[in-house]
Amino acid sequence: MNSLPLHPAVVHVPLGLALVMPVVLVGLLWAIGTDRLPTKAWVLALLLQGILLGGTGVALWTGGQEEGRFEERAGEVSLEAHERAAQAFGFAVAATFAVGAIGFLLRGRRRPFMATGAAAVGLSIVALALGIQVGHQGGLMVHGRVGQTGSPAADAADQASDRGDDD
């Protein structure tokens, strides 16, 4: 078994896509709404959102597989909170995909298409906010601040005292 955890490498795909999807969706919706692109161009939104959904699924799976490796260091409570936030992120990503797919099916009807497109934009912003929360929690666990004081200065002082650097 490889000693390097896969989860930290995998999570950057969905987090990065979650960051750009609101902009992509707004851009596509604007271009379609102003007749610069045909409504079938919305398939690009579905393709990217599908990659985001798949990447989120892989991130959730790898996180579950590697949970035991980090539970002692990060603490069960922190890991469970991170997992719940990741599941909420996954739900928002899936909802965005579903609404975007409904929009694609309605592409022949301008108003319903634009309404579902706008809903997909809103959901993608919710997914982004949840993704930021998940990433923040994961980052805190990786850098050893969760379950300790929560203060970087206090954590640095604790680490210095552990090394015997008390001056």
Tens-place pLDDT, residues 119-136: 999 999 999 999 999 988
- CB neighbours of 152 closer than 8 A, spacing ≥ 6? 145
Task: Identify the residue with better confidence: 74 or 131.
Answer: 131
Domain segments of the chain as ranges: 7-162
* CA distances, 57 to each of 11, 44, 60 (Å): 10, 20, 5
Classify residue 75 by burial, with Cβ atoms within 10 Å: 0-12, 13-18, 19+. middle
**pLDDT computed for residue 143 by the predictor:** 75
Burial class (CB in 10 A: 0-12, 13-18, 19+), 150: exposed
What distance in Å separates the CA atoms of residue 38 and residue 28, rounded to the nearest whole number? Answer: 10
The correct answer on CATH 3.30.450 for the domain covering 7-162 is no
Q: pLDDT: is 137 or 162 the higher one?
A: 137
Q: pLDDT category, 163, cuts 50, 70, 90? A: low
Q: Distance (Å, rounded) from C-alpha 156 to C-alpha 96?
A: 41
Whether the pLDDT of residue 73 is over 90: the answer is no
19: DSSP letter: H
Q: Is 149 exposed, middle or buried (0-12, 13-18, 19+ CB in 10 A)?
A: exposed
Rounded Cα distance between 111 and 125, Å, is 21
Name the 3-class secondary structure at 111: helix
Mean pLDDT of the chain: 84
Which residue bears the tokens 């750009």? 20
| 97 pLDDT above the threshold of 90 | yes
